[in-house]
Structure 1
Amino acid sequence: MRFTRALAVLLALAAWVPGTGMAAQARVAVAAQARVAVASNFADAARQLAVDYGRQSGHRIEISAASTGKLYAQIRNGAPFDALLAADDTTPRKLVAEGLADGATLHDYAIGRLVLWSRDPGMVKDGEALLRRGHIDRLAIANPELAPYGAAAREALRHVGRWDALQPRVVMGENIGQATQFVVSGAAPLGLLPRSLVLEARKTTPGSSWEVPASWHAPIVQRAVLLKHGEGNAAARGFLQYLRSAPVRARIRALGYD
């Protein structure tokens, strides 16, 4: 009898976690981990949001960032990602059509804007005039074949009739994060970059900038989708739902997205 009571006490102590209530213990009991593929422009934002989501849910989100085109190729080749946050709306739809993603989970989480930026405070005085007819020594953009922001930059340069002339002076990054780093480091004096990354860079290097009119290129609609690998993953499903909440949408806008 004494042994039974002692055993019961030991089991109770083993199950008790100091400072936690039943709700917290329930979250820990069902905690899951998900790998989320994220377009480079949204990587820092996704990491911040993943930390906050983890605090609220007990789940853990691991972020893998690259250009949308590279992530698509990795998913096609069997990379074990549970969800995708793309920098366009076509790649997620393509994955749904190919049977690699759940179409019911498609949703737009951000709309990107393109900015002409230089770390030189005096370089971008009249951004439109500079793009249309100004002297441009080197211009950083992301690879248009892999990165939607690179495709938007190419489209904007075609809009002003300078894509062909400026191609020899383009410094091309594999993804938009690398293109931004070219300008931050001074390797390129100018870049056509996401407003979100320019806002972040200007915290330490104000420079000069000009927002490219949205009519100069197709809308940069960024879409999320749950991948087939993550269909049974509660952490991945929960994170996509979290991105659609009003407070998170407000945070995404504050980070430089429409």
Structure 2
Amino acid sequence: MIASLQRSFLILSLACSGTALAEQVQVAVAANFTAPMKALAADFEKDTGHTLKAAYGATGQFYAQIHNGAPFEVFLAADDSTPAKLEREGHAVPGSRFTYAIGTLALWSAKEGYVDRQGLVLRDAAFQHLAVANPKTAPYGLAALQTLTRLGLKQALAKKLVEGQNIAQTHQFVASGNAELGFVALSQIYQNGRITGGSAWLVPSEMHDPIRQDALILSKGKDNPAARALVEYLRGAKAAEVIRAYGYQL
């Protein structure tokens, strides 16, 4: 009887100890990385015991929120310049910044066969609306305008542009049919080696600045083991497999 009670007490102690060690991490995630982050979060929680609470939005908006004291502990941006700036300004743990993914820009329509594989549909200009993300806050929006400039079409198509607050809203404009086509992140329309619906042109990387997406631990997360665990998890082989499955490069 005594031995049985001792074993029960030991099991309960271990359970309580595991619970005490588990922490929650607050994460700001660039909107283009929504789908892979949701997939990664489930694996991260299962593998580490920590929990993850994520907010999704535009990189520029998160930058402003972090400056205003938002409780984020880890930031996954859609560029490399914003995390570097936060690091310089003392809002991040020095040395924690790294590139977790390199994004691909895509011109996409929800209609099958609407966008050709060379993007010539842009020159035809038979459409009424072309969706782009806000270039001031969303790096994919900036890449879209750089692409139009490179093609010599920025001025000609200016009146057809419909601007989304972030890349998630831009995708919604196209998915709903409010815009015939738009520039989105490949990860929003791609999984396991194929476009999941509609038609798309994968914009060549030389058309715009590289979309290097950096992550880092913010100052509020410096003493949170879950923040450190998440960053290490994102660097691992299991996370890399998921990230590649959504069309990113590493």
Q: Would the TM-score normalized by the shorter structure come out above 0.5? A: yes
- CA shift for structure 1 position 51: 1.4
The 3-state SS of whatever aligns with 1:145 is coil
Shift of 1:144: 0.4
Query: 1:140 is matched with which residue?
Result: 131
Match of 2:29 in 1: 38
Are 2:175 and 1:184 equivalent residues in the alignment?
yes
- State which drifts further: 192-201 or 139-148: 192-201
Query: Aligned pair count?
Result: 247
Equivalence for 2:81:
90
Q: Secondary structure at the match of 2:121?
A: helix
Is contact 1:196-1:256 (8 Å) kept? yes
Query: Once the 2 structures are TM-superposed, how far is the Cα of residue 9 of structure 1 from its aligned partner?
Result: 6.8
Give the alignment of 1:94-243 within 5 angstroms: 94-199=85-190, 202-203=195-196, 206-243=197-234
- 1:217, distance to aligned residue in structure 2 (A): 0.1
Equivalent positions of 1:21-32 (< 5 A) are: 26-32=17-23
Q: Percent identity?
A: 43
Deviation of residue 188 (structure 1)?
0.4
Residue 11 of structure 1, CA deviation: 7.3
State the alpha-carbon separation in 1 of the partners of residues 84 and 155 from structure 2.
31
* Unaligned stretches of 5+ residues in structure 2: none
Match of 1:252 in 2: 243
User: Structure 1 residue 132: deviation in Å?
Assistant: 3.8
SS at match of 1:105: coil
Q: Residue 36 of structure 1 contacts residue 63 of structure 1 at CA under 8 Å; is this kept in 2?
A: yes
CA contact (8 A) 1:132 1:160 kept: no
Query: C-alpha deviations, 1:135-194, integer Å up to 9, x for none?
Result: 332101110001000000010001111112212111111000000011111010101111
Amino acid at match of 2:203: V
Q: Does residue 13 of the first structure (1) align with residue 8 of the second (2)? A: yes
Q: Deviations over 1:98-131 (max 9, x none)?
A: 0000231110000000111111112113543222
Q: Which moved more, 1:30-39 or 1:132-141?
A: 132-141
Task: Select the structure of larger CA radius of gyration.
Answer: 1
Contact 1:43/1:63, CA 8 A, preserved across alignment: no
Instruction: Name the CA shift for 1:137/1:99 in 2 (closer, same or farther; >3 Å).
Output: same
Secondary structure of the residue aligned to 2:127 is coil
Map Cα deviations across residues 15-68 of structure 1 (whole Å, 9 max, x no partner).
525xxx95x765333000110000000022112211111111110010011100
Paired residue for 2:65, among 68, 71, 74? Answer: 74
* C-alpha separation in 2, matches of 1:48 and 1:226: 20
Task: Give the TM-score, by structure 1 length.
Answer: 0.89
How far the C-alpha of 1:14 sits from its partner, in A, is 5.1
Task: Tell me the TM-score normalized by structure 2.
Answer: 0.92
Cα distance in 1 between the residues matched to 2:171 and 2:27 = 22
Aligned partner of residue 162 in structure 1, secondary structure: coil
